[in-house]
Amino acid sequence: MQRITIDPITRLEGHGKIEIFLNEQGNVTNTYFQIPELRGFERFCVGRPVEEMPLLTNRICGVCPEAHHMAAAKATDAVYHVEVPRTGKMLRELLYSAFYCTDHTTHFYALGGPDFIMGPDAPVAERNILGVIHKVGLEIGGKVIQMRKYGHTVVEIIGGRKVHPCTSIPGGLTKGITEEQRKEIETMGRWAIEFAQFSLQVFNDIVLSNKTYLDLIVGDIYTHKTYYMGMVDENNKVNFYDGKVRVVGPDGKEYVKYEPKDYAAHIAEHVEPWTYLKFPYLKNVGWKGFTDGPDSGVYMATPLSRLNAADGMATPLAQAEYEKFYSTLGGKPVHQRLAIHWARLIELLYAAERWVELATDPEIRSMASTEMGKLPDSFNSTTDMTITHNPVGTDTAIEVRVCSNHHLLVPLLSTFIGNPLQMCASTTMRTITFN
Amino acid sequence: MSERIGVYVCHCGTNIAGVVDVADVSKWAGEKLADNGVVISRDYKFMCSSLGQELIQKDIKEQNLTRVVVAACSPHLHERTFRNACKGAGLNPYLCELVSIREQDSWVHTDKAAATAKAKAIISGGVARVIHHEALEPLRVPIHPDTLVVGGGIAGIQAALEIADAGFRVYLVEREPSIGGHMAQFDKTFPTLDCSACILTPKMVDVGNHPNITLLTWSEVQKVDGYVGNFAVTIKKKPRYIKTEDCTGCGICWEKCPKKVVDNVFEAGMGNRKAVYVPFPQAVPKYPVIDDVNCTYYLKGTCKACEKFCPTNAIDFNQKAEEITVQVGNIILATGYDLFDARRIPQYGYGKLANVFTNLEFERICNAAGPTGGNIVLRDGKTAPKTVGIVHCVGSRDKNYNAYCSAICCMQSLKFAHLVRERTGAEVYNFYIDIRTPSKGYEEFYQRLLEEGTRFVRGKVAEVTNVARVPEEEGKLIIQVEDTLIGKQRRIPVDMVILSSGMQARHDSKDVAKLFGISCSADNWFIERHPKLDPVATMTEGIYIAGCVQGPKDIPASVVQGAAAAARILGKIQQKEIALEPVRATINQDQCSGCRICNNLCPFSAILFHEDTMVSEVNPALCQGCGTCVAACPAGAISGTGFSNEQILSQIDGLLLLNISHAAVPVE
Amino acid sequence: MTEETKPFEPVIIGFTCNWCSYRAADMAGTARIKYAPNIRLIRLMCSGRLDPTFVFKAFAGGADAVLISGCHPGDCHYVEQNYKAMRRFHLLKRVLAQLGIEPGRLKLLWASAAEGAIFAAEINKFVEEVRALGPLNWAQPGEQVSTPIMEEVTA
Amino acid sequence: MSKPKFAMYWAASCGGCEIAVLNIHEKILDVDAAFDVVFWPVAMDAKYKDVEAMQDGEITLCLFNGGMRNDENEHIAKLLRKKSKIMVSFGSCACEGCIPGLANFSPIKEVVDTAFSTITTDNPENIRPQISYAMPEGIITIPTLNPVLKTLDQVVDVDYYMPGCPPESHQIAAVVDLVIAALNGKAELPPKGATIGAGNSTVCDECPRKRNVKTIKEFGRIQLMHTDPELCLLEQGIPCNGPATRSGCNARCPSAAAQCIGCYGPAEGVVDYGARLISAFASVIDSNKPDEIDKILDGLVDPAGQFYRFNLAGSLLRSSKSAQKG
């Protein structure tokens, strides 16, 4: 028996190790994806004031702190039973959309991109963002940097900081934005739309037009027929900030659609003794082990799954790309994991369009900044407002509502690396089907 | 570790060596603390002796010591001694640390092993601490030559005159309309029986006329800012309603004033005064005061008799209180005492039984200028008593009231007894617990009284009553007492009872102490810097105390203290500047964020905030070195010399070097 | 006699102010009033100098309890700094409790320069209270069940 | 000749430090120009074995972020220390434990038990992860958790500290410039042990809010108050850690109307971060009456969590060293 160890897994957020066992013929007999880390957010969030959850859970993942910040903030709104004013909701979603753009850019160009752009066999030293920049040239590299910069600028304007935003509090935000800031945000948003379209063009030119890659994508080596989860608005269109959780089966038909707060009725986490990671699955389907198919509760939560789980995109340009995506890949649902990268770019485009929609909505500045996110004065029961039950429950609940660009594993797996990007998720999936 | 530390363990005879194994401790320090820089460790019979000090100085020179730790008595006793010893050998005095293994170890513990182990811990704490000591220089501040004296009684008068005669300005503040204090109310003074007024008035007049004394009567201190050398004192001059510059003190106003007022202050309620008045004929200053609480004009809005008759138009009904601020270098507090209120002992009947008098009332009765013209008569103002009972220790030496001895009542009572017999020939009984006549000529006076035939009954009076049991008690006051010499209960009928009420601290002494930043004892007497060696200074530099404010005492003792305090201050004035302990806080201007946490923590307003640079700064002369701001600074930007974080934190480590549970078994 | 059979002797670090409580300790000494040898005193100019760091340092260094003492309220040599010590004491207790240190291990004692006897008596009382609490041994990170956890090697 | 080598690693961390480094934007190209990036899990595929293969001191600059949560973290820390000339304790986790250090409030057993018994956890046999587990194909292992989370310098010797959660990108850019300049002999590196990329004062120094003499009558919670946008938050009763927290972030949070939560850690020379806040907050409480003081303190719902939010693993009472003594 031969063993291949990949340690650590790279170009994704967090820690992971893969043990691959090969038989005499050199075929894989089994593979284990292990998560070596546990920090204990579930424990130490207990006893902390509720308003700190958006700040503490930020630190689950520094690549997508915005997801955890939003999630926790929405949980605290719920704890206080307050409805966030529309301006507050829009500001949060605006921040979040801009973050999507910067984050998807990071993933596509810096984390996932090298595989495509540099080619699967490129030397380690070059298979990274810098290699990518060398290859695509400073001009394009500059665009990538610009996109990340713009996204983080908006996050900073609304969230107070580029990484680990601090302005979302129970009931809303600590501050609003000025007209100058709104203008700046709008301008950057319009540029973001162009960048998203440009990126889709890059994907088209480098990947889709390359037979090897295309075969890789449409071929069934990276194919798993699982359930797909995503958040959708009232028209079953993809939404990042608010809505219901929709799950479709391997057959693409809706399996369930539920209120985020009911997450516990639908999601459970399976425990294995050989990793700190817990394995989430659809409770009502049940845990059948590391296998796919309609009888296995294993589900996917990624840009691809969100597209599969939705009936379309809420913005015109993204909707067009959505239709092209499925026509090219032969209809819904798409089971090929590598299509995630394409799906991500479609989400990038949607996020950029949404960014501009929100930035140009007259209500985005309808409230004075001091009025933002304050609870009614009548509300004054404060002492009991510390997290006294398992915070991951809370965190999960609202994480599900947010349904971030990173799949539902985020909170559920906060016990391991805080934030598995879909890359490591797909790695997870891959290990499953080696079984 | 570059420091070279010497450790010196004192036997203090057997005071320390009797309980702590000093030889072992010194050996241990030499070996176990070598890594901390201890290069030599000795023990010696008496470290504070000149030989002991020379021992240290010799080592400093020969062993090139850079730090010294002495393990002996409390730093409050000998810190100076050993610092000076180091200084003598050319080592900065602040590089020496005195740790107490006597008051805090050998004297309070019996388990020798434990005490020895504790001594080791204390020394290792001292060694760890002394490493972080810095060479410090005392802070020098100039002394303003003017002095403030608060209280115009005999102690204050004496102090003021001493300083003024030496040629320096004195501000004398008195809250009554005239100086003189209690002494001015007395008739005769024991034991010589010379007339109180006769010896006091000349001094009062001197004060009034002295070119170097600014007399501020009918005034009170409101606020004290600053620090030794330059206090800024705000004084409130209450309105006299008299233009002093025009008033001649002719007395027409109080003759004409229609309003009689019971004089509870000077006449102790025995006599009346007018609404416009001088407390007594020899008052200094001579200007009267209008009592605006009782004056008809202020009550009804009409009268103004005084104004009509005043030959110099010196009356001014619109006068307002006035505040002045004076700069002084030193302050003497001579605010005196209150009399114990005899009403608090109901069984003695004062206030209920007409012919029970207090000592102060009796002083006024005896006084030729008093309400009875000096005739010793009963409350009715005519009947002379045939028998008089004098009760000693009223409210004193009594755990229910004041536990302490008021020091003067014995002699005062003897004086009364003498005066009664001399002027009325009445029979006098003294009821005493003990007779205390310790000073010059006092015992002789007591003997004289015994020969005069005054009766002495040893026993604490249980009750004074007018309830007769037998006919001969009818209409008399009966004194119920256990005569402890014959061991019998006795009932002695008398016509008049005099209660020798003791002294107690001024009712407002706590407030006054706060105002001047000094502290009070449990009995509210002001606390002196040292009960024996420094009885007139206080813990607060530049503030001195004199007279009864420090504790009960008689006139001679008060005069001595007044003079002593004056002498101390004159010394300071002569030096022109004073060296202050360099224990001070400083703010690192780079590290200070201007958060302003410290800004209102300083009771001496030593911390000021610069609006322009947005940082705070400490005024070293105002800083008293308490270290509160050092402990509070969130940025760690404030450091305190002498008690720095490094010093304390290292001392903690040092103290914890040994675990006490090892005490029974010697460590290693 | 062996370590085991010896009664637990707590180590207590006491912070005293130069004007009142340290003098109270001196007074106890001059009056030869006996008290338990378990306390080791540190002199500060004022209880207002008491930095919570000192308390933490003492506990971290192995003290079983800490005494904070100063002039009685209103008697502070520096007018009112002992009130600051009192405020810190109240907050300190809360924080220590959250850090797993029994509030009983931190004591605030007002003692005037005249109260040597009271000072000594209070120390004896405190020593017994701490003896009853046992050695300071706050919630031990360490022992585990199914997840093996590395025992921290004591340096 | 080959360029100096650059490495960045995360131990128990969130990846925010990596993002902060990427957020120096164009400057990343300078890094590329000046260094060979030899190890950086988030961005490139070099593995542990590649690091083990390096010469001692081969790496010129190593930015190490993340705390010491388990023995793997410690192992990599020691490995990279050996291989690196300049080791920077990068970010709050490495410097003082950060949010994951809050785990030091509880015994590690409780931490694990809680994680594997949450309401969504399906764990009927109450399984706990095992550091070594025999699979049919062979034994596979995961790291052992430390009793307490340690800071980097509690495990290895570090050359510089760069605080912040994460360090501000403009500070990172400045430090990158400095190091590059130093490598070209155009600048001096600060003395070993120095804190770089931060100020010497505290957040108030950079905070635009107006400050008065402080007295606190009551503590409040930000979501329950209408705060004055101009005035110091602490003066309004909001427990802002700014006064005790090292400057360098341009007072980001207070500028965004949120209280400083203390991610830049203690100021220069401070022994215990929490103690500074305890002392400062308590000192300015506007009462001398015990019961009133307690009433005011009730407004601080979680004092220890508030004062040690980022610093627990670096505190006197809850750092690795004291845990040993306890």
pLDDT for position A432? 24
Tokens coding C148: 């093996």
Instruction: Give the residue from A415, A421, A79, A434 showing the smallest Cα distance to A278.
Output: A415
Distance CA A160, CA D255 (A): 8
Q: Domain check: are A82 and A199 in the same one?
A: yes
What's the one-letter identity of residue D39? F
User: Cβ of C56 under 8 Å from any chain D Cβ?
Assistant: yes
pLDDT at B463 over 80: yes
Out of C1, C40, C48, closest to residue B118 by CB: C40
Residue contact B634–D202, C-beta within 8 A: yes
Which residue on chain C is closest to B98 by alpha carbon?
C43
Residue A424: its chain D contacts at CB < 8 A?
none
Q: Domain check: are A63 and A145 in the same one?
A: yes
Out of B514, B653, B661, closest to residue C79 by CB: B514
DSSP D265: -
User: Cβ of B593 under 8 Å from any chain D Cβ?
Assistant: yes
Phi, psi for residue A423 in degrees, rounded to 5: -60, -50
Concatenated DSSP letters of D49-80: HHHHTSPTT-EEEEEEESBEEEHHHHHHHHHH
Residue contact D316–C53, C-beta within 8 A: yes
The answer to the question of residue A399 being in a domain is no
- Gap from A407 CA to chain D (nearest CA, Å): 16
D19-59 per-position pLDDT tens digit: 999 999 889 889 989 999 999 999 889 999 999 999 999 99
Q: Which residue has the tokens 């809010």?
A: D209
CA geometry: angle at A51 spanning A50 and A55, to 5°?
110
- Gap from B630 CA to chain C (nearest CA, Å): 7
| Residue A327 pLDDT grade (very low, low, confident, very high; cuts 50, 70, 90) | very high
Residue B597: its chain D contacts at CB < 8 A?
214, 243, 280, 283-284
Q: Domain check: are A8 and A145 in the same one?
A: no
Q: Which residue has the tokens 């100020």?
A: D199
- What is the mean predicted confidence (pLDDT) over A379-393? 33
User: Cβ of C5 under 8 Å from any chain D Cβ?
Assistant: no
Cis peptide before B285 (omega within 30 of 0): yes
Q: Which domains does chain D have, with CATH numbers?
A: 5-100+152-183 (3.40.50.700), 102-145 (no CATH), 203-325 (no CATH)
Residue contact D144–C88, C-beta within 8 A: no
- Other CB atoms within 10 A of residue C90 CB: 19
Which residue on chain B is closest to C53 by alpha carbon?
B649
Q: Domain check: are A364 and A424 in the same one?
A: yes
Concatenated DSSP letters of A215-246: HHHHSSTTB---EEEEEE-TTSBB-SSSSEEE
A169-194 per-position pLDDT tens digit: 988 899 899 999 999 999 999 999 99
Rg (C-alpha) for chain C, rounded Å, is 17
Are D142 and D75 contacting, i.e. CB atoms less than 8 angstroms apart?
no
- What is the mean predicted confidence (pLDDT) over A22-46? 89
Residue contact D212–B600, C-beta within 8 A: no
B60-82 per-position pLDDT tens digit: 999 999 999 999 999 999 999 99
pLDDT at B545 over 90: yes
- Gap from D213 CA to chain B (nearest CA, Å): 6
Tokens coding A311: 């009936």
User: Cβ of B132 under 8 Å from any chain C Cβ?
Assistant: no
Interface test with B, best of C45, C71, C80, C82 (most B CBs within 10 A): C45
- In terms of C-beta distances under 8 Å and separation of at least 24 residues, what long-range contacts does D175-182 make, across chains too? D176/D24, D176/D27, D176/D30, D176/D31, D177/D27, D177/D30, D179/D61, D179/D86, D180/D30, D180/D34
Residue contact B653–C61, C-beta within 8 A: yes
Q: What does each C-alpha distance from D140 to A32, A269, B541, D38, D73 come to in angstroms?
A: 9, 22, 76, 28, 18
Residue B591: its chain D contacts at CB < 8 A?
200-201, 267-268
Better-scored residue on pLDDT, A127 or B103: B103
- Other CB atoms within 10 A of residue B470 CB: 9
pLDDT at A424 over 50: no
Do A and B touch, 3+ Cβ pairs within 8 Å? The answer is no
Which residue on chain C is closest to D105 by alpha carbon?
C99
- Gap from B2 CA to chain D (nearest CA, Å): 21
Residue contact A268–D110, C-beta within 8 A: no
Better-scored residue on pLDDT, A412 or B340: B340
Q: At what angle do helices B154-165 and B555-575 cross, to 10 degrees?
A: 30
pLDDT at B207 over 90: yes
- Domain range for A15: 2-34
Are A325 and A342 contacting, i.e. CB atoms less than 8 angstroms apart?
yes
Residues 6+ apart with CB under 8 A from C31: C116, C117
- In terms of C-beta distances under 8 Å and separation of at least 24 residues, what long-range contacts does A141-148 make, across chains too? A141/D29, A142/D26, A143/A195, A143/A198, A144/A105, A144/A109, A144/A110, A145/D25, A145/D26, A145/D28, A146/A191, A146/A195, A147/A101, A147/A102, A147/A105, A147/A192, A147/A195, A148/A102, A148/A105, A148/A106, A148/D22, A148/D23, A148/D25
Residue contact D257–A167, C-beta within 8 A: yes
pLDDT for position A368? 55
Residue contact D287–C92, C-beta within 8 A: no
Interface test with B, best of C13, C16, C20, C26 (most B CBs within 10 A): C26
pLDDT for position A220? 77
Q: At what angle do helices B50-62 and B75-88 cross, to 10 degrees?
A: 50
The answer to the question of residue A379 being in a domain is no
User: Cβ of D277 under 8 Å from any chain B Cβ?
Assistant: yes
Percent of chain A with pLDDT over 70: 84
pLDDT for position B663? 35
Residues 6+ apart with CB under 8 A from C1: B664
pLDDT at A400 over 80: no
Interface test with D, best of C55, C64, C87 (most D CBs within 10 A): C87
- Other CB atoms within 10 A of residue A324 CB: 14
Distance CA B493, CA B489 (A): 13
Distance CA B121, CA B109 (A): 15
How high is the mean pLDDT of chain B? Answer: 94
- Gap from B627 CA to chain C (nearest CA, Å): 5
Quick one: fold of C8-133? Rossmann fold (3.40.50)
Phi, psi for residue B245 in degrees, rounded to 5: -65, -25
pLDDT for position C7? 83
- What is the mean predicted confidence (pLDDT) over B569-591? 93
pLDDT at A294 over 80: yes
- Other CB atoms within 10 A of residue B382 CB: 9
pLDDT at D240 over 50: yes
Out of B111, B514, B624, closest to residue C37 by CB: B111
Provide the CA B226 distance to its chain's centre, in angstroms: 21
pLDDT for position B573? 96
Where b means 16+ CB within 10 Å and e means fewer, A247-286 reads bbbbeeeebbeeebeebeebbbbbbbebbbbbbbbbbebe
A112-141 per-position pLDDT tens digit: 878 777 776 788 778 888 888 888 888 888
- Gap from A332 CA to chain D (nearest CA, Å): 30
Tokens coding B534: 């420094």
- What is the mean predicted confidence (pLDDT) over A238-249? 92
pLDDT for position C5? 60
pLDDT at A390 over 80: no
Q: At what angle do helices A138-159 and A129-136 cross, to 10 degrees?
A: 130
Distance CA B619, CA D279 (A): 22
Instruction: Give the residue from D239, B478, B480 showing the smallest Cα distance to A52.
Output: D239
ipTM above 0.95, yes or no: no
- Gap from A312 CA to chain D (nearest CA, Å): 30
Provide the CA B325 distance to its chain's centre, in angstroms: 24
Residue B631: its chain D contacts at CB < 8 A?
279, 283
Q: What does each C-alpha distance from A185 to A90, A180, B663 come to in angstroms?
A: 13, 9, 72
| Residue A367 pLDDT grade (very low, low, confident, very high; cuts 50, 70, 90) | low
Residue contact D107–C142, C-beta within 8 A: yes
pLDDT for position C138? 52
Are A84 and A371 contacting, i.e. CB atoms less than 8 angstroms apart?
no
pLDDT at B142 over 80: yes
Which residue on chain A is closest to D227 by alpha carbon?
A370
- What is the mean predicted confidence (pLDDT) over D247-271? 96
Tokens coding D64: 């190490």
User: Sheet holding A227-232: strands in order across?
Assistant: A254-258, A244-248, A227-232, A299-300
Better-scored residue on pLDDT, D319 or A321: A321
- What is the mean predicted confidence (pLDDT) over D259-284? 97
pLDDT for position A392? 31
Q: Domain check: are A28 and A145 in the same one?
A: no
pLDDT for position B90? 96
Better-scored residue on pLDDT, C142 or B118: B118
pLDDT at D260 over 70: yes
How high is the mean pLDDT of chain A? Answer: 81
* Contacting subunits of C (3+ beta carbon pairs below 8 A): B, D
Residue contact B651–C57, C-beta within 8 A: no
Residue contact A38–D145, C-beta within 8 A: yes
pLDDT for position D1? 57
Residue contact C90–D324, C-beta within 8 A: no
The answer to the question of residue A196 being in a domain is yes
- What is the mean predicted confidence (pLDDT) over D182-196? 95
Region of poorest pLDDT, from A404-408, C71-75, D171-175: A404-408
The alpha carbon torsion through A130, A134, A137, A138 (nearest 10 deg) reads: 50
The answer to the question of residue A406 being in a domain is no
- What is the mean predicted confidence (pLDDT) over B438-449? 95
- Gap from B603 CA to chain D (nearest CA, Å): 13
* Contacting subunits of A (3+ beta carbon pairs below 8 A): D
Region of poorest pLDDT, from A70-84, B156-170, D44-58: A70-84
Q: What is the mean pLDDT of each run of 10 residues along chain C (155 residues)?
A: 69 96 95 96 97 96 95 85 97 94 95 93 97 76 35 34
Residue contact B107–C120, C-beta within 8 A: no
How high is the mean pLDDT of chain D? Answer: 94
- Gap from B521 CA to chain D (nearest CA, Å): 22
CATH of the domain at A197: 1.10.645.10
Out of D15, D45, D106, closest to residue A43 by CB: D106
pLDDT for position C150? 38
Better-scored residue on pLDDT, B539 or C134: C134
Where b means 16+ CB within 10 Å and e means fewer, B342-361 reads beebeebbbeeeebbbbbbb
pLDDT at B440 over 80: yes
| Residue A382 pLDDT grade (very low, low, confident, very high; cuts 50, 70, 90) | very low
Residue contact C34–B110, C-beta within 8 A: yes
Which residue on chain A is closest to D304 by alpha carbon?
A48
Instruction: Give the residue from B501, B556, B568, B584 showing the smallest Cα distance to B528.
Output: B568
- What is the mean predicted confidence (pLDDT) over B551-556? 96
pLDDT for position B63? 96
CA geometry: angle at B371 spanning B369 and B372, to 5°?
90
Residue contact C113–B118, C-beta within 8 A: no
Report the number of distinct structural domains present in chain A: 2
pLDDT for position B529? 81
Residue B637: its chain D contacts at CB < 8 A?
201, 267
pLDDT for position A217? 81
Tokens coding C110: 């007002």
D146-161 per-position pLDDT tens digit: 999 999 999 999 999 9
Percent of chain B with pLDDT over 90: 89
Distance CA B29, CA B9 (A): 10
- Which helix (H) or strand (E) segment holds residue B582: the answer is none
DSSP D296: H
pLDDT at A263 over 60: yes
Residue contact A163–D119, C-beta within 8 A: no
The alpha carbon torsion through A43, A48, A54, A58 (nearest 10 deg) reads: -40
pLDDT at A381 over 60: no
Q: Domain check: are A27 and A64 in the same one?
A: no
